């Protein structure tokens, strides 16, 4: 039985709100360049070579952050992993996970005047328990992909 290689990158975020807010700032191009390093993830957005935005998500923003960058023989430092993704799709996913974020739910409860002390013990349709979500988000990059034409 072959042993599985560990993923190149794995990060767990307990709150998606700061990630969403930082990435939303560079949401002016359909695709972003992503660079994974041992210090964090760098997202670069470029609009027709006229405007460029950079968001850096440091490893300290995540509950757990593990990088296993491939090393070539003779290299001291591993080369960072680079790829492109559609930022809009990532932002939508972060927004969905943010809907069950603890800070978001607490803020929503304070703003909702319909809620009463009598009804607070009942979980609503979008509670973590009802949705089956733990409120965490895991980023995983198992191996370098093959570029399609």
pLDDT at position 126 is: 60
What average pLDDT does range 71-98 have in this prediction?
Answer: 85
- Residue spans of the domains in the chain: they are 9-98+135-141
Do residues 59 and 99 make contact, with C-beta atoms less than 8 angstroms apart? Answer: no
pLDDT at position 86 is: 95
- Residue 108 vs residue 16, higher pLDDT: 16
Report yes or no on whether pTM surpasses 0.75: no
CA distance 67 to 80: 10
CA distance 144 to 45: 21
Fold of the domain spanning 9-98+135-141: Proliferating Cell Nuclear Antigen (3.70.10)
pLDDT at position 63 is: 93
């Amino acid at each position: 039985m072959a042993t599985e290689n560990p993923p190149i990158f794995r990060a767990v975020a307990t709150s998606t709100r700061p990630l969403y807010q930082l990435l939303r700032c560079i949401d002016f191009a359909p695709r972003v360049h992503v660079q994974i390093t041992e210090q964090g993830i760098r997202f670069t957005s470029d609009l027709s070579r006229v405007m460029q935005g950079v968001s850096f998500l440091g490893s300290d923003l995540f509950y757990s952050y593990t990088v296993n960058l491939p090393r070539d023989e003779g290299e001291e430092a591993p080369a960072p992993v680079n790829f492109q993704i559609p930022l809009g799709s990532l932002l939508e996913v972060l927004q969905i996970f943010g809907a069950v974020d603890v800070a978001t739910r607490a803020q929503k409860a304070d703003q909702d005047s319909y809620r009463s002390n009598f009804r607070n013990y009942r979980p609503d349709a979008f509670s973590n328990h009802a949705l089956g979500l733990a409120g965490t988000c895991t980023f995983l990059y198992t191996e370098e992909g093959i570029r399609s034409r």
